[in-house]
């Protein structure tokens, strides 16, 4: 008798293999799909890393956070300004002429301060437009991180307030009073940051690098500085640019009387601080700040915001509000005051407006 044996059908083998593959598919397909989805969700969005908190493109910006970063930026820029001046490595050179024909100076302090301030603000709020006095060299880009910490004095006085990112423009002055900086007149030097919302200045930061004093204020928020309480409106002390003192003095004395005091000074930031109660031994005091020629907006935006927050005014010589969008220059000169009748001051100075376009 022939031995008994088992013969496997080729068709049966094929069916068996197909059933096995089906079981394996059901077991592992869910796992692999889950892993793939996790991998895709874990990848950063195209175009780079996630945007920092409060600054997603097209999103909202918290003004309290922006104030905190602005203060830090002014201080960090001031550190560069101070380090360059004390090391006497200014490398000063002319970058052009003003409309009055004076040489504009550019130093290493301007450039290093600008780089530090710009990239700190841009890193924290990439969706916000930033205008700076100095050109930003993308080849010299650096990462300046912000740890999202908010100083206690800002926490105590300022409440969170969100605005659309597209409504915000930041104005940076990385070194105000460069001419005085080259002359080692350190008391006039400031670094400044201003935040404008829909063209209106709402946050101002003025930092004095050589004394480490910082004034900040937010409109409808709070401030760490106050206005002075004593003024003499009949014979005010008028603070003006050193180069314009003679031009203003004649008209001012004709308007207010021969007892009017003219204070020549450098830097728009310094001049605004002169109107406030500033605990600085090298800070002069004035009642009115007047500028009679064209001036750049990054020079005046921070001071304008501080004055507005404290109930003061900064306008053109004809009383028009200065809008901080569009062009970077203000053609109409300016007059600034606080706790005074600003309209009456403007009416007393009609002749100055004629010189503001020269």
- Please give the positions annotated as active site: 110, 178
Work out the angle at residue 136's Cα, subtended by the Cα atoms of residues 154 and 47, and round it to the nearest 5 degrees: 80
The secondary structure of residue 311, as a DSSP letter, is T
DSSP per position, 22-89: HHHHHHHHHHHHHHHHHHHHHSPPTTSSPPPTT--TTSEEEHHHHHHHHHHHHHHHHHHHHHHHHHT-
Contacts of 245 (CB under 8 A, 6+ apart): 262, 264
Distance CA 322, CA 184 (A): 31
Count of CB atoms situated within 10 Å of the CB of 181: 26
Binding annotation for Mg(2+)? 133, 173, 175-176, 299
Tokens of residue 31, six digits = 């796992």
Contact 172, 120 (CB under 8 A): no
Binding annotation? 133, 173, 175-176, 299
């Amino acid at each position: 008798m022939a031995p008994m044996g088992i013969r496997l059908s080729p068709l049966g083998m094929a069916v068996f293999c197909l059933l096995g593959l089906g079981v394996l598919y059901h077991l592992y397909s869910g796992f692999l799909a889950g892993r793939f989805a996790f991998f895709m969700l874990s990848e950063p969005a195209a175009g780079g890393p996630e945007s920092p908190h409060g600054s997603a493109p097209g999103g909202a910006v918290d003004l309290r956070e922006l104030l905190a970063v602005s203060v830090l930026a002014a201080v960090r820029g001031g550190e560069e300004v101070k380090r360059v001046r004390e090391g006497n490595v200014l490398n000063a050179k002319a970058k052009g002429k003003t409309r009055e024909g004076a040489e504009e100076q550019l130093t290493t302090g301007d450039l290093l301060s600008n780089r530090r301030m710009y990239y700190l603000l841009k890193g924290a709020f990439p969706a916000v437009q930033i205008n700076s006095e100095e050109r930003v060299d993308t080849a010299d880009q650096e990462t300046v991180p912000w740890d999202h910490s908010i100083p206690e004095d800002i926490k105590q006085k300022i409440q969170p307030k969100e605005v659309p990112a597209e409504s915000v423009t930041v104005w940076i002055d990385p070194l105000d009073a460069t001419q005085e900086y080259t002359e080692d007149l350190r008391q006039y030097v400031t670094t400044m940051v201003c935040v404008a919302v829909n063209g209106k200045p709402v946050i101002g930061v003025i930092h004095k690098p050589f004394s480490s004093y910082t004034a900040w204020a937010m409109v409808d928020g709070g401030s760490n500085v106050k206005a002075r309480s004593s003024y003499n409106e009949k014979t005010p002390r008028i603070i003006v640019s050193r180069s314009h003192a003679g031009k203003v003095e004649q008209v001012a004395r004709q308007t207010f009387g021969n007892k009017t005091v003219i204070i020549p000074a450098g830097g728009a930031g310094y001049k605004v601080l002169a109107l406030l109660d500033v605990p600085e031994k090298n800070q002069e005091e004035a009642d009115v700040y007047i500028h009679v020629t064209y001036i750049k907006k990054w020079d005046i935006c921070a001071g304008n915001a501080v004055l507005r927050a404290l109930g003061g005014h900064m306008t053109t010589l004809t009383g028009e509000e200065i809008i901080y969008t569009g062009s970077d220059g203000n053609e109409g000169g300016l007059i600034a005051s606080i706790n005074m009748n600003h309209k009456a001051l403007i009416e007393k100075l009609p002749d100055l407006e004629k010189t503001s376009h020269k």
